[in-house]
Amino acid sequence: MSLYDLAPTAEDAGIHIQNLTVSYDTDRGRFNALKNVTLDIRPRHITGFIGESGSGKTTLAMAMMNAIQPPGRIDGGAILLDGAGDVLQLRGEPLRRLRGRYFGFVFQASSNSLNPLKRVGAQLMDLGRSHGISDLRGLLREAKALAERIGLDGDRVLTSYQHELSGGMRQRVGLVFALVLKARILILDEPTTALDMLTQQAVLEIVRSIHQEQGLTTIVITHDMGVVAEMADRVVVMYAGRVVEEGPTFSLLTNPQHPYTQGLIRAIPRITGNLDDAKPLPGSPPDLATIPTKGCVFRERCYARTSVCDTVDPVPTSAHGDGLVMCHGVDAS
Amino acid sequence: MIEARNLVKTFPARGGLLAQKAVQAVKGVSFVIPDGGAVAFIGESGCGKTTIGRILSGFETYDSGEIYYNGEDLSALPPRTRQERLRKVQLIQQDPYAALNPARTIYQSLAAPLSWEAKRRHKEKGWIERRAREVLELVGLNPDVVLGKYPHMLSGGQRQRIVIARALTVEPDVLVADEAISMIDVSLRLGILTLLQTLRRDYGIALLFITHDIAAARYIGHDGRMYVIYQGEIVEEASTDELIRSPVHPYSQALLSAVPVLRGLERPGQDRYIPLGEFSVTETSGCRFAPRCRFAHDLCQKEKPPLIPWEQEDHRHACHFPTPRRVVAEPLEGHS
Ligand SMILES: Nc1ncnc2c1ncn2[C@@H]1O[C@H](COP(=O)(O)OP(=O)(O)OP(=O)(O)O)[C@@H](O)[C@H]1O
Ligand SMILES: Nc1ncnc2c1ncn2[C@@H]1O[C@H](COP(=O)(O)OP(=O)(O)OP(=O)(O)O)[C@@H](O)[C@H]1O
Ligand code: SF4
Ligand SMILES: [Mg+2]
Ligand SMILES: [Mg+2]
């Protein structure tokens, strides 16, 4: 029996990322988009990935499915999926089948994931067939019900072509596709960025309840701390291809350790409290080509910088009980 | 000052294969943008915010109603003349990536509108570059660093600053910021909001801030005014503080409830409620929000609530059963 024949159970869809390094070849040279990332994603939890544009969130999610495309390359590391072994060792048909069984993925730009020439419902039936689902009528019925829970007109959406749907509608159709196929691991890349606040809440609500109902392992990628605060059990903070802090949401929000996490939280426009309490995060998001190769990658924007930050890479230190932080400032104390 | 009265805008029906019914995007909206004032339009996708912003900045016509610009009624003017009068109302759009020509350096992008200005105002040659540097400094960028760059070399926040700098080249009276921060990293949004506030304070530029993000709209300033728009109509208006502290219309309350709560730092308002699920837009003689409203009675289906004052003249609402509710999150002790 090969690895991918093991039927996963809800209990064991944890993901263990070990020393993962991914690089992209660009016209300015080859740069690391992820460097030595080690991280456990817990089964049955909602994990939020947060970080500015370019911090490597999408790259990390794609790597988990061994789906990095050229000019990207996985340079090293392992991704151990409970019950299925190292995903990075799989190729071809076994890899395709493993993805189909385990992963439901909603792309950041959902518009590109739909076929422009087929009605949405027909695409869903294709997908159902390729997943070996025989009750296609039932599949459509479920999709319609899901669509209606997030404010879509189910019949209209299933009979539409993608160009007849707005960006926000397409994003939600992507979500319906991922949910209806009953993946074990649900990865949502910026599921609410094109949506207004009310629709965002509807989407978050449906993800939360399906996560619960089906005992999923869910990953929500976002640059919005508010989304994380509403949804996630745990938070992974990424900066310049590194995980700089990780821990339970409550602890991370109330007691952020890394100066970057602190800055991100302070920069959120808040509906409540003193206007002057919010402060912009200084500087610009990191650019791969100018990330320092030695020392702390955040130091240019950091209020707590000391000389050791320029020369020595910070190492993961335990924080938030069962989480971690990577900062010399926290090391020292 | 800009005063709009009863603005109506209908997009005509389209025939053919992809037939579409006529859409009345704006249904009789009235508002005032005082000199140097700050006004926010709040509402969910499709409520007509962008359409109003585009009408004000001369990119869109309107079917009926009046726009008074510093006392002059623009409605009777031919569209071309109207557009010229609205030159000093500058639109800043959502997408700073699309707004800049990728093949032009920042200097070239700024020099184009500036050479118009130079011609109009008979300025000598050196003026264009001097002024380009000036507007970049106004938006907090270093001219020596950015002038020669192309848009792709800049971050989203920097690009949006360039777009604002370009709007400043005509010395505008009003900036219409249409979801101007929603495509920018959250970490950089506050920087842009602070910039808009500074421009308002230091140069008296009025601000029309269009968004679905009420928390962000709060940062246009303490003395700002908010209009809540639902399906092309104003359903509530008040000073920013008043509207957030004590909204009386169920739709305003729903929007405010939808702002994410930062667990651990905030607690949800005790009356927080979020309408979920499907609803359809149907013509009605009653309240347009009734199909989604938790507090609707028979009267709401039958009779349309007018926009009338609540307690004070400057807080107005369109609901048969206005009730203040506490829906916004409150800061927890020690984490203001
Ligand atoms: N196909 C590619 N070719 C070259 N570089 C890439 C490619 N895809 C991503 N990168 C680079 O890798 C880094 C990480 O990108 P990634 O898309 O993972 O970031 P992200 O955190 O998802 O950002 P965003 O919030 O903008 O989606 C960025 O610097 C990006 O420019
Ligand atoms: N050029 C157009 N032709 C036809 N209909 C249009 C046009 N522009 C806007 N509409 C319609 O008018 C209504 C209001 O649109 P508008 O863009 O003003 O909304 P909005 O509040 O800005 O929404 P969003 O938050 O999604 O930007 C919508 O129903 C929209 O589909
Ligand atoms: S008028 Fe009635 S239906 Fe409309 S918002 Fe008020 S209570 Fe709700
Ligand atoms: Mg991404
Ligand atoms: Mg709009």
Percentage with pLDDT > 90 across chain A: 54
- Identify from B149, B158, B183, B185 which residue to disrupt to test chain A contact, counting A C-beta atoms within 10 A and taking the largest count: B185
- Identify from A196, A200, A255 which residue to disrupt to test chain B contact, counting B C-beta atoms within 10 A and taking the largest count: A196
* Per-residue pLDDT, A7: 46
* Per-residue pLDDT, A163: 78
Atom of ligand 3 nearest to the CA of B322: 6
Task: Find out whether the beta carbon of B176 lies less than 6 Å from any atom of ligand 3.
Answer: no
Range scoring the smallest mean pLDDT among A3-12, A46-55, A263-272 = A3-12
Statement: residue A320 has pLDDT above 90: yes
Statement: residue A2 has pLDDT above 50: no
Q: Does A171 touch chain B (CB under 8 A)?
A: no
Task: Find out whether the beta carbon of A290 lies less than 6 Å from any atom of ligand 1.
Answer: no
* Per-residue pLDDT, B105: 95
The rounded distance, in Å, linking the Cα atoms of B255 and A149 is: 18
A286, closest residue in chain B (CA to CA):
B155
Statement: residue A1 has pLDDT above 50: no
ipTM of the complex: 0.88
Q: Which residues of B touch A237 (CB under 8 A)?
A: none
The rounded distance, in Å, linking the Cα atoms of B243 and B258 is: 15
Q: Which residues of A touch B258 (CB under 8 A)?
A: 197-198, 200-201
Higher model confidence: residue A7 or residue A192?
A192
Can you tell me the mean pLDDT for A154-158?
A: 87
Task: Find out whether the beta carbon of B295 lies less than 6 Å from any atom of ligand 3.
Answer: yes
Q: What is the pLDDT of residues A63-103, one digit of tens each?
A: 999 999 999 999 999 999 998 899 999 999 999 888 888 99
Q: Which residues of A touch B333 (CB under 8 A)?
A: none
CB pair distance less than 8 Å for A280 and B216: no
Statement: residue A312 has pLDDT above 50: yes
User: How many CB atoms lie under 10 A from the CB of residue A213?
Assistant: 9
Nearest to A155 by CA among B39, B27, B53, B278: B278
Atom of ligand 3 nearest to the CA of B235: 5
Assigned token pair, B9: 């805008």
Report whether B210 contacts B49 (CB < 8 A). yes
Q: Which residues of A touch B190 (CB under 8 A)?
A: 267-269, 278-281
A228, closest residue in chain B (CA to CA):
B262
Atom of ligand 2 nearest to the CA of B232: 14
Q: Is A15 exposed, middle or buried (0-12, 13-18, 19+ CB in 10 A)?
A: buried
Q: Which residues of B touch A195 (CB under 8 A)?
A: 45
The rounded distance, in Å, linking the Cα atoms of A317 and B60 is: 57
CB pair distance less than 8 Å for B258 and A153: no
Range scoring the smallest mean pLDDT among A16-30, A148-162, A247-261 = A148-162
Q: What residues line ligand 2, using a CB cutoff of 6 Å? A: A 196; B 11, 23, 25, 43, 45-51, 212
Q: How far is B134 from chain A (nearest CA, A)?
A: 21
Q: Does A164 touch chain B (CB under 8 A)?
A: yes
The residue whose CA is least distant from atom 16 of ligand 2 is: B48
Statement: residue A328 has pLDDT above 60: yes
Task: Find out whether the beta carbon of B228 lies less than 6 Å from any atom of ligand 3.
Answer: no
* Per-residue pLDDT, A3: 37
Nearest to A249 by CA among A227, A232, A267, A266: A232
Instruction: State the pTM of this model.
Output: 0.90
Ligand 2 centroid to residue B49 C-alpha, Å: 8
Sign of CA dihedral A172, A177, A180, A184: negative
Domains and CATH numbers, chain B: 2-88+172-331 (3.40.50.300), 102-171 (no CATH)
CB pair distance less than 8 Å for A285 and B328: no
Can you tell me the mean pLDDT for A256-282?
A: 92
**Reading across the β-sheet that carries A317-319, which strands appear in turn?**
A103-106, A185-189, A217-222, A46-50, A234-239, A242-248, A323-325, A317-319
Ligand 1 centroid to residue A288 C-alpha, Å: 9
CB pair distance less than 8 Å for B187 and A275: no
Nearest to B57 by CA among B25, B92, B26, B31: B92
Can you tell me the mean pLDDT for A127-148?
A: 88
Can you tell me the mean pLDDT for A29-52?
A: 94
Nearest to A189 by CA among A226, A240, A227: A227
Q: Residues of chain B whose pLDDT is less than 70?
A: 15-20, 277-280, 334-336
Q: Does B223 touch chain A (CB under 8 A)?
A: no
pLDDT range class, residue A53, cuts 50, 70, 90: confident
* Per-residue pLDDT, B278: 57
Task: Find out whether the beta carbon of B296 lies less than 6 Å from any atom of ligand 3.
Answer: yes
Task: Find out whether the beta carbon of B248 lies less than 6 Å from any atom of ligand 3.
Answer: no
Report whether A302 contacts A328 (CB < 8 A). no
Homologous superfamily of domain range A13-331: P-loop containing nucleotide triphosphate hydrolases (3.40.50.300)
Give the residue carrying structure tokens 């400032």: A329
Q: Does B178 touch chain A (CB under 8 A)?
A: no
B292, closest residue in chain A (CA to CA):
A151
Q: Does B226 touch chain A (CB under 8 A)?
A: no
Task: Find out whether the beta carbon of A54 lies less than 6 Å from any atom of ligand 1.
Answer: yes
Q: Does A224 touch chain B (CB under 8 A)?
A: yes
The rounded distance, in Å, linking the Cα atoms of A169 and A151 is: 9
Amino acid symbol at A105: F
Nearest to B260 by CA among B192, B326, B293, B214: B214
Q: Does A153 touch chain B (CB under 8 A)?
A: yes
Atom of ligand 3 nearest to the CA of B295: 7
Mean pLDDT of chain A: 88
pLDDT range class, residue A5, cuts 50, 70, 90: very low
How is chain A split into domains, by residue range?
13-331
Q: Which residues of B touch A226 (CB under 8 A)?
A: 259-262
Q: What is the pLDDT of residues A198-254, one digit of tens each?
A: 988 988 988 898 899 889 999 999 988 999 999 999 999 999 999 999 999 999 999
* Per-residue pLDDT, B173: 95
pLDDT range class, residue A332, cuts 50, 70, 90: very low
Atom of ligand 1 nearest to the CA of A286: 29
Task: List, as ranges, residues with CB under 5 A of the ion ligand 5.
Answer: B 50
Statement: residue A317 has pLDDT above 90: yes
Q: Which residues have CB under 8 Å from B136's CB, separation 6+?
A: B106, B110, B142, B143, B146, B147, B162, B165
Higher model confidence: residue A249 or residue A105?
A249
Ligand 2 centroid to residue B277 C-alpha, Å: 21
Task: Find out whether the beta carbon of A286 lies less than 6 Å from any atom of ligand 1.
Answer: no
* Per-residue pLDDT, B335: 54
pLDDT range class, residue A10, cuts 50, 70, 90: very low
Which of A202, A230, A280 is opposite residue B191, by nearest beta carbon? A280
